[in-house]
């Protein structure tokens, strides 16, 4: 198999080829690293490339295959790790000058679990400083670009992982999602991005373990790859109270075991807190809904009056940034991201009463979404209101343009469909829905009941089968 073809083979397929000795882990890693060397100067999607480590791990992986040892489901598969996750002996910067030389003495539990499944770390993917925005750039490394259009962002905050996977620089990437940070770049780059139920996968670095809204998750080209990666990372962890008795995937509902969605009830969220949705994004969403209807699903628009808490979400988000990251801004000043500085200043303006009101709004939102699942089995919406923003977009001050009209700030006018499900903890999957008039990918989001992760992925797989996307490659490659 030619190296360029191999670069776009799904992880599940590559793992099967490795197990059957049809491809060598050493040759596979070499092919991927060659692509990294060629494309990294253009895309800038890695903070650190661990080529020496990866090649040594590939030799061990090949020896295990030849010796007939038990092999994990991701044996020999290259993976990028977002630079918010600790990696033993590998620099972990969190995208910040404050940690530019930080080398952890241990792996995050998810890195440990991916390694145990046989995955080989090829590098640390870029993230905005502490993952605080939906575009991927940081003062310490510059700007990451979208392989579909170098004038656009790949999204964020897992934009480095998305740009890498979309470009064939490894089939899987580990991201994290605190307000859409796997689903945003998935939609921008034509990928699968999954935020599971809170607690399905441990998140060890949450500053508020009990009020956590962040979920680690996969960025992949296929649903199967996302499901395998998600399953490998799931399970209880003593440092995360939400993981107790939680299953990564849970069972698939019997009704979804057939190649039909007959009787499945889906609620279509057309706007949420957004003022508008681009016409081409809406058209692609409706085409995806049409495919689900063709499979037998019943889809109707959600008409319930729901406070999607765009203002209160900002209170929670900005207060957290001001409290936790304010000291870093005070110490390093203009060496930090200008958006981070703006967010810290904005967060300082809220008082305790505003914060308590926002906590109450979060509870009401959770209960409102729970009520929706009394009527619907799943929810569906666009992932974003439009395609990827310009690479130079300023997330603190610029206004989102939709069909030639200025709509307002990124949240909620670009990301208003994604952040609510971080607040409620429901599983949410972004899958490609087609291409917009500007030639960039668009995404559709599927949301399920808490702990309905397997059902969400199963419906995503049926949509993938009806409207294939994995063979679409960006023009850069």
Tell which residue, 237, 135, 228, has the closest CA to residue 179: 135
Whether cis (ω within 30° of 0) applies to the bond prior to 412 is yes
d(C-alpha 250, C-alpha 231), whole Å: 10
Contact of 447 with 434, CB cutoff 8 Å: no
Residue 158 bears catalytic tag: no
Strand-pair category, 298-301 with 428-435: unpaired
Contact of 191 with 223, CB cutoff 8 Å: no
- Catalytic site residue from 157, 167, 288, 430: 157
Contact of 174 with 110, CB cutoff 8 Å: yes
Q: How far is CA 467 from CA 295, 395, 424, 462, 470, in A?
A: 12, 33, 29, 9, 10
- Catalytic site residue from 82, 124, 133, 271: 82
Q: Which residues of 127-138 are buried (b: 16+ CB within 10 A; e: fewer)?
A: bbbbbbbbbbbb
Q: Residues in the chain, how many?
A: 477
d(C-alpha 463, C-alpha 449), whole Å: 19
d(C-alpha 120, C-alpha 57), whole Å: 6
Contact of 145 with 135, CB cutoff 8 Å: no
Q: How far is CA 73 from CA 11, 114, 175, 222, 403, in A?
A: 9, 10, 19, 15, 44
Reduce the DSSP state of residue 232 to 3 states and report it. helix
* Residue 450, token pair as written in the block: 């808490």
The upper half-sphere exposure of residue 132, i.e. CA atoms within 13 Å in the direction of its Cβ, equals 30
Q: Which residues pair with 447 in a beta bridge?
A: 379, 428
Taken in order 99, 104, 110, 114, the sign of the CA dihedral is positive
Instruction: With both helix axes pointing from N to C terminus, report the angle between 51-66 and 25-43 in degrees, rounded to the nearest 10.
Output: 160
d(C-alpha 222, C-alpha 215), whole Å: 19
Residue that the structure tokens 């949420």 belong to: 272
* DSSP-assigned letter for residue 201: B
d(C-alpha 424, C-alpha 201), whole Å: 16
d(C-alpha 30, C-alpha 385), whole Å: 39
- Catalytic site residue from 125, 181, 206, 433: 181
Residue 133 bears catalytic tag: no
Residue 181 bears catalytic tag: yes
Contact of 428 with 445, CB cutoff 8 Å: yes
Contact of 383 with 244, CB cutoff 8 Å: no
The catalytic site residues sit at 82, 157, 181
């Amino acid at each position: 198999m030619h190296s360029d073809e191999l670069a776009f083979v799904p992880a599940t397929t590559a793992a099967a080829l490795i197990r059957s000795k049809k491809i060598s882990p050493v040759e596979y890693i070499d092919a991927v690293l060659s692509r990294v060397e060629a494309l990294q100067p253009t895309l800038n999607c890695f903070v650190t490339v661990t080529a020496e480590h990866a090649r040594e791990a590939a030799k061990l992986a090949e020896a295990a295959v030849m010796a007939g040892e038990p092999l994990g489901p991701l044996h020999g598969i290259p993976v990028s790790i977002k630079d918010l996750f600790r990696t033993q002996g590998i620099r972990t910067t969190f995208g910040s000058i404050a940690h530019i030389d930080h080398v952890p003495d241990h792996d995050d539990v998810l890195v440990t679990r991916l390694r145990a499944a046989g995955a080989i770390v090829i590098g640390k993917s870029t993230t905005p400083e502490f993952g605080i925005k939906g575009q991927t750039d940081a003062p310490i490394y510059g700007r990451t670009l979208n392989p579909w259009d170098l004038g656009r962002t790949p999204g964020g905050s897992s934009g480095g992982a998305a740009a890498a996977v979309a470009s064939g620089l490894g089939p899987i990437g580990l991201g994290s999602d605190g307000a859409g940070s796997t689903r945003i770049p998935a939609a921008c780059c034509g990928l699968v991005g999954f935020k599971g139920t809170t607690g399905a996968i441990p998140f060890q670095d949450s500053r508020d373990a009990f009020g956590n809204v962040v979920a680690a998750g996969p960025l992949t080209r296929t649903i199967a790859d996302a499901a395998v990666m998600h399953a490998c990372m799931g399970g209880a962890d003593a440092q995360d109270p939400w993981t107790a008795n939680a299953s990564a995937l849970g069972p698939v509902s019997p009704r979804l075991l057939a190649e039909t969605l007959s009787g499945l009830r889906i609620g279509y969220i057309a706007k949420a807190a957004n003022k508008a949705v681009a016409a081409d994004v809406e058209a692609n969403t409706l085409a995806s809904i049409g495919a689900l209807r063709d499979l037998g699903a019943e889809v109707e628009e959600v008409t319930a009056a729901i406070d999607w808490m765009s203002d209160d979400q900002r209170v929670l988000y900005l207060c957290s940034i001001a409290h936790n990251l304010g000291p870093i801004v005070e110490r390093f000043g203009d060496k930090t991201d200008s958006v981070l500085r703006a967010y810290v200043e904005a967060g300082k303006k809220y008082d305790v009463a505003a914060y308590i009101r926002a906590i109450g709004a979060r509870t009401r939102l959770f209960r409102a979404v729970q009520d929706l699942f009394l009527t619907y089995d799943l929810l569906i919406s666009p992932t974003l209101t439009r395609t990827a923003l310009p690479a130079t977009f300023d997330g603190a001050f610029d206004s989102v343009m939709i069909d030639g009209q200025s709509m307002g700030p990124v949240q909620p006018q670009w990301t208003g469909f994604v952040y609510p499900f971080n607040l409620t903890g429901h599983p949410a999957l972004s899958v490609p829905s087609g291409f917009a008039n500007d030639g960039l990918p668009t995404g559709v989001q599927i949301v399920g009941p808490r702990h309905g992760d397997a059902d969400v992925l199963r419906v995503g797989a049926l949509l993938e089968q009806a409207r294939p996307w994995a063979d679409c490659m960006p023009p850069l490659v």
